[in-house]
Amino acid sequence: MGGLTVSYLEHSGFAVETDTKVLVFDYYKDPAGIVNAYGAAKKPLWFFISHGHADHFNPRIADFSASTAYYVYNKDVPFTGGRPEQRRSMAVYEAIRLGDVQIKQYGSTDEGGSFLIRTDDYAIFHAGDLNRWHWDGDTDANIKEADELFERELKCLDGLVVDIAFFPVDARLERTREWGVTDFVNVVTVQRALIPMHYFGSPWTPSKAFLQTHGRVPLWIPQVAGETQVF
């Protein structure tokens, strides 16, 4: 095949096809039936669940167990589907290896964690709900805590180089919508595609300030569920 085929499922859900497998992140909805199609093909599915929020975790992923190699999930996710040997629960900052796949779970600024996957000579990062959740109108104490928590997690990611990164750019944040993603690309090098997610509204349109500062960061901004791009 060559390259990575990335399909947008819905919200923060994506499927990433490599030469040997299909990585499915935070499956919530899949109106285009992308995972169904992959499940009927030959490559094994690998599901990753960053946390248990309903917009990131759908227990019906257990329906794909016959086509799935592993379900890998944050330790607080109440997943009991599939066979016991398919399930791998991980703590934040834990690293494991399953066959040719290296997995490290990083932290979050909400529930659960985020995932770095290395396989088939690619590095893929899915942030889950890791973001700078700076809500205008919140209390000064809450804003300070959120900013400090995000800065702490960024230190853990500093210097990371990845091929693909999925990161929240939530429209509800309004004025501060792209603060988190801007800070993220200040410390993480993204070589093939930075892909926004978790819109909760209109897809992200990068500001002039972001493009002036980070115009060299390769972007793919999916608009509707079912879009697919090869990197």
What amino acid occupies position 43?
Answer: K
User: Quick one: pLDDT band at residue 80, thresholds 50, 70, 90?
Assistant: very high
Using DSSP's 3-state secondary structure scheme, residue 74 falls into: strand
Q: What whole-number distance in Å separates Cα of residue 154 and Cα of residue 188?
A: 9
Provide the token pair at 179: 């603060």
Asked if pLDDT for residue 1 goes beyond 70, the answer is: no
Helix (H) or strand (E) run with residue 228 in it:
strand 228-230
Provide the token pair at 217: 């960061």
pTM of the model: 0.97
For residue 167, give Cα distances in angstroms to 124, 127, 185, 219: 11, 5, 10, 11
Q: What whole-number distance in Å separates Cα of residue 32 and Cα of residue 40?
A: 14
Domains in the chain, please, with CATH? 5-230 (3.60.15.10)
Task: Dump the DSSP string for 45-69.
Answer: EEEEE----TTT--GGGGGGGGGEE
| pLDDT per residue as tens digits for the range 113-166 | 999 999 999 999 999 999 999 999 899 999 999 999 999 999 999 999 999 999
Mean of pLDDT values over 55-65: 96
Q: How far is CA 51 from the centre of its chain?
A: 11
Residue 174 has phi, psi (to 5 degrees) of 55, -110
